[in-house]
A and B are shown apart, each in its own frame.
Chain A
Amino acid sequence: GIQVEQSPPDLILQEGANSTLRCNFSDSVNNLQWFHQNPWGQLINLFYIPSGTKQNGRLSATTVATERYSLLYISSSQTTDSGVYFCAPGGWDYKLSFGAGTTVTVRA
């Protein structure tokens, strides 16, 4: 399957700070999704973004498929942004491969 590397593994932010999470993947993809797992374990889809840029409130994401990476931007972070962020690229085999995640802690 596709190898996925997310960085940094851990991130501690002061409330109001901005940050960028990176996802590198090993193969060409036709699918890429970002998820947030909150401290209670619930997984929420943030973006379906196989290429280009999308924005949703304080979050935005960019995927450059030709260079095999995706970025997730968090602006004006809030304590509710805490949790684990997963990147999951997929190819033509209808599977998703998840990275190990970036654990974000936002302090008030």
Chain B
Amino acid sequence: EAQVTQNPRYLITVTGKKLTVTCSQNMNHEYMSWYRQDPGLGLRQIYYSMNVEVTDKGDVPEGYKVSRKEKRNFPLILESPSPNQTSLYFCASSITLNEQFFGPGTRLTVL
């Protein structure tokens, strides 16, 4: 089954404790992206990647890191999480930037 998976689905953590949210797709897509969703703001792009070893900033990259060492994986790293990073996070993939497929989302709470 073609899908984008994210782990964990739910995470409660404390300020400053490094965390990684994994994202994996099995569709051989080149393009992958991370978004955060906050009430009333829609989705905002954090980082995206056009292919392996190629990443670029979206609209809200501060406080986040990504890597793309393999085509299928695109982890999101929060080196020192803060409460304003409490949000719902989505990973997405597509062949180029056409029909985006989204993962199920990760709900992160930073205390």
Contact = CB atoms under 8 A, between A and B. Distances in A.
Contacts of B56: 94
Bin chain B's interface residue count: 20 to 34
Interface residues of A, number: 22
Interface in B53-108: 56, 58-59, 88, 90, 92, 97-102, 104-105
Given A31-B98, A100-B41, A100-B42, A94 B48 contact: yes
Interface string A31-43: 1010100000111
B88 A41 contact: yes
A1 B58 CA distance: 9
Contacts of B90: 43
Nearest to A46: B99
Interface string A74-103: 000000000000101010001111111100
